[in-house]
Chain A
Amino acid sequence: MEWVKQRKLPACEAIQYNAQPCHEMDDLWNALHNTHNSASGREVDLSVLDPLPTLQERDWPPFSALELTDALSSCSSRSSPGPDHITWAHLKAVLENKKSVQLLVTLADACICVGHWPKHFKDSVLVIIPKPGKPTYSTPKSFRPIVLLNTVGKLIEKMISNRLQFDRIKYDLVHPNQVGVVRQRSTEDGGLFLTHLVRTGWAKGKKTSVLAFDIAQFFPSLNHAMLLAILRKQGFSSFVGRFFASYLVD
C-alpha cells in the first residue's frame, strides 16, 4: 500500500555545505560554486600531451551565411532565453532579413580574427533546478544549475562548434573509443563495441566482466590551459586558440 509509507519531508531545511547550513545568499553561492567548480584553476602538467603528434596548422576560412542559417534551423524555438530575453523564435524572425544575417556573420568572423569574445555574449542567467526524486534536498548536489546565455552569442558558438565537429571527423581527431558528443557516433556504436568485446572473449573461452567508471563533474573540471594546448596540437588555426583564450576568461 503506497499511502501508508512514511511521507517524504518537503524541502524545509537549509542546504548544508561543509556541515554548515547556508542561509545567506553569499553562503549559498559559495556552496554551489565550490561544489561544481571544485577543480577549476588547478595546476596541470601539460607534458602528458607530449607523446601526441602535433598536426600542421589548418586555415580557418570565413563563415558563410549558410553556416549561420544551418546552425539556427537546428535550434528549438521552445527553449528559454538568456538575460536579453531573445528566444530562438525571435532570432529566427530577425534573421529572415539578409542584412541582419550579414551583420552576425561579420561579427562572428571578427570575433575569431581579433580573438575577442564580447561581454554581452558572456552575460548569463543561472537557474538552480531541484533534481526530481532526491531523498533529501539539503545538499547542493540535489540541484542542477543551468546557465542561460544570450542567444546571439550561442548562435555564433554553434557555428564554431559545427566547424570543430567537422574537423574532428575529417581529420580523425577524436579517439576511436569516444562515442559521446561526436557527430556520426552514437550510444548504439558504444553498445555494439562492448558486446563485440564480450563475445570475442567468450569465443576464446574466457570470462568477461565490465568495470564502469564515472568521472564526476567532468565538464566543469576541464582544464582551460589543457584545452588550448590540445587545440594547438590538433592543428586548429592559431586564431581559434586566441579566440578560446578570450572566450574562457571571465
Chain B
Amino acid sequence: MVVRTKDIRVYSHNVAKNYLNLDVLLETLYNDFVIGAPMHPEWLYMVRPPQNDQAPRVMAFVSKQLEKLRPSMRTDLVDHRDIFVLSLFQGNNTYNLMNVYSDDDKTAILYLRDHVDELPSFHYMGGDFNVHSSVWDPEVTHHWWAATTLLEIAADLDLERTEPSNPGLTFIFHNADLRPSVIDLMFHRISESARSRTRRDPDSKGPTDHIPLTTTIVLDSVIEDVTRRTITCGSDAEKAFIDDLRKGVPAIVSGTLNTAADIDRVAQALADVFSSAWDKHSHEVCITKRSQPWWDDECTKFLSQYKLEKSHKSWLLFR
C-alpha cells in the first residue's frame, strides 16, 4: 500500500530490553498484515554497534516506506551509546531526529550539554530522560539543574517541549508501592505546536514499565512516489513497440555521410524513432517493495484472500 503523505510518525518507547515486546510492536505498528518476524522485513533497524563492551541503549526502526528519504544513522554527529541521531533527506531539506536515553547519572544530558554547539538544529528529540521536574510533573515540587540543563539544550537545538494532548504519567513501577512519574518527554521545533499530534498511548504499554508516546513530524513537502516508465516483457505493448521500431528504423534516409553533422543527424533520427516508440507504448509504474517481476495480479488476489481467511489452504495457494 503506497500512501502519499507529508507526515512522519514517531513512536517513542522505552521497551526495557524486552525483545518479545519489541517484536510484537513491529508487527502491530506496520499498517498492513505482514508475514515474518525477528528481523522485520518492513523495518530498517539502525543501531550503533557495541564499543568497548558497552552495548547501545537506544536504537531506531525506520519504516521501509521512508527509504526514499535516505534515512541515515549519524554517528558523525553524535557517537554515544545513549544518543541516536537519525537524518532524513528531502530535496535540500535535512530533518534531524534524536532519540535519547538518559541514565541515573544523566550521562546523555551531560554529553549533550558539552557538545550542543557542534550540533545542527533538530526537528525532534524524544526519549526516556529520567528527569523529574515540576514543569512536566505536577506531583514534583522542584525544578533542578538536570531539568534546566535539558531545556537549555533543547532551546539550543531550536526545540521546545511538547505536552501530550492527554498529559499524564509515563513511568509506572512494576512495584505498585513506588510513586509513578513523568520522565518520557518529546520536543518539537519551537512554535510548531505539535500538541494535538502528540499523545501518550497507555494501551500499548505491554509488559514494560514505560508508557509509549506517539507524535508526527510534518515535512515541508509530500513524499513523492518513485516512478518510472516501463514496457512489460512479452506484453502486447512490447509487440506494438517492436512493430513501430521495425517500421521506423528502415524509413530513416541515411544519404551520404561525409561529415560529423551527417552522422549526428542519422544517430539523432535513430534516437527519435526509439524515444517516440517508447513514449507511445510505455506506461508509468511506481517502484515499491512489490516491484519484482514475478509479482503479478494473481499474487495480489491470493494474498488478499489469505488475509481474509487466514487458512492454511489459502496460504498454500498464495505460495
Q: Which among A9, A116, A120 is the interface contact of B271 at CB below 8 angstroms?
A: A120
Tell me if A93 and B271 are in contact (CB < 8 A). Answer: no
Mark interface residues in A84-121 (1 if CB within 8 Å of B CB, else 0).
11100010011011011001001101110110101111
Mark interface residues in B125-149 (1 if CB within 8 Å of A CB, else 0).
0000000000000000000000000
Tell me if A84 and B258 are in contact (CB < 8 A). Answer: no
Tell me if A10 and B257 are in contact (CB < 8 A). Answer: no
A181 to B245, CA, bound (A): 34
Tell me if A114 and B245 are in contact (CB < 8 A). Answer: no
B70 to A, closest residue via Cβ: A23
- CB of A21 within 8 A of chain B? yes
Mark interface residues in B46-76 (1 if CB within 8 Å of A CB, else 0).
1101000000000000100000001111111
Q: Which residues of B contact A23 (CB under 8 A)?
A: 70, 72, 87, 89, 94
Mark interface residues in A112-139 (1 if CB within 8 Å of B CB, else 0).
0110101111000000000000000000
Tell me if B259 and A103 are in contact (CB < 8 A). Answer: no
- CB of B267 within 8 A of chain A? yes
- CB of B275 within 8 A of chain A? yes
Tell me if B267 and A94 are in contact (CB < 8 A). Answer: no
Chain B residues in the interface with A (C-beta under 8 A)? 39, 44-47, 49, 62, 70-76, 87, 89, 94, 231, 241-242, 245-246, 249-250, 252, 254, 257-260, 262-264, 266-268, 270-271, 274-275, 278, 282
Q: Which residues of B contact A99 (CB under 8 A)?
A: 249-250
Q: Which residues of B contact A152 (CB under 8 A)?
A: 270
Mark interface residues in A2-29 (1 if CB within 8 Å of B CB, else 0).
0000010110111000001101000000
A106 to B263, CA, bound (A): 10
Given A94-B242, A111-B263, A116-B260: A85 and B254 interface contact (C-beta under 8 Å): no
Tell me if B270 and A114 are in contact (CB < 8 A). Answer: no
User: Can you report 20 residue pairs joining A to B where beta carbons are below 8 Å apart?
Assistant: A7-B39, A9-B46, A9-B49, A10-B44, A12-B71, A20-B76, A21-B72, A23-B72, A23-B89, A86-B274, A90-B241, A99-B249, A99-B250, A103-B249, A103-B250, A103-B252, A103-B254, A107-B254, A107-B266, A107-B267
Q: Which residues of A contact B242 (CB under 8 A)?
A: 90, 93-94
A7 to B94, CA, bound (A): 29
Q: Which residues of A contact B266 (CB under 8 A)?
A: 103, 107, 110
A85 to B44, CA, bound (A): 32
Q: Which residues of B contact A13 (CB under 8 A)?
A: 72-75
Tell me if A118 and B94 are in contact (CB < 8 A). Answer: no
Q: Which residues of B contact A90 (CB under 8 A)?
A: 241-242, 245
Tell me if B270 and A120 are in contact (CB < 8 A). Answer: yes
Tell me if B275 and A84 are in contact (CB < 8 A). Answer: yes
Q: How many Å from the CB of B196 to the closest CB on chain A?
A: 31
Tell me if B257 and A21 are in contact (CB < 8 A). Answer: no
Q: How many Å from the CB of A19 to the closest CB on chain B?
A: 9
A90 to B231, CA, bound (A): 12
Chain A residues in the interface with B (C-beta under 8 A)? 7, 9-10, 12-14, 20-21, 23, 84-86, 90, 93-94, 96-97, 99-100, 103, 106-107, 109-111, 113-114, 116, 118-121, 150, 152
Q: Which among A20, A100, A110, A111 is the interface contact of B249 at CB below 8 angstroms?
A: A100
A167 to B266, CA, bound (A): 29
Q: Which residues of B contact A94 (CB under 8 A)?
A: 242, 245-246, 249
Q: Which residues of B contact A21 (CB under 8 A)?
A: 72, 74, 76
Tell me if A114 and B267 are in contact (CB < 8 A). Answer: no
Q: Which residues of B contact A9 (CB under 8 A)?
A: 46-47, 49
Q: How many Å from the CB of A18 to the closest CB on chain B?
A: 12
Given A84-B275, A103-B250, A103-B266: A12 and B260 interface contact (C-beta under 8 Å): no
Q: Which residues of A contact B271 (CB under 8 A)?
A: 84, 120, 150
Q: Give 7 closest A-B pairs by Cβ, nearest first.
A: A110-B257, A118-B267, A99-B250, A116-B260, A12-B46, A120-B267, A84-B274
Tell me if A114 and B257 are in contact (CB < 8 A). Answer: yes
Tell me if A118 and B254 are in contact (CB < 8 A). Answer: no
A10 to B47, CA, bound (A): 9
A107 to B62, CA, bound (A): 52
Q: Which of A7, A93, A110, A113 has the most CB of B within 10 A?
A: A110
Q: Which residues of A contact B249 (CB under 8 A)?
A: 94, 97, 99-100, 103
Q: How many Å from the CB of B99 to the closest CB on chain A?
A: 14
A69 to B184, CA, bound (A): 71
B72 to A, closest residue via Cβ: A14
Supplied contacts A10-B44, A114-B257, 12 more A-B pairs, CB within 8 Å: A13-B75, A20-B76, A84-B274, A94-B249, A97-B249, A103-B250, A106-B257, A107-B266, A113-B257, A116-B263, A118-B263, A152-B270
Q: Which residues of B contact A86 (CB under 8 A)?
A: 245, 274
A85 to B232, CA, bound (A): 12
A224 to B221, CA, bound (A): 46
A110 to B, closest residue via Cβ: B257
Tell me if A119 and B264 are in contact (CB < 8 A). Answer: yes
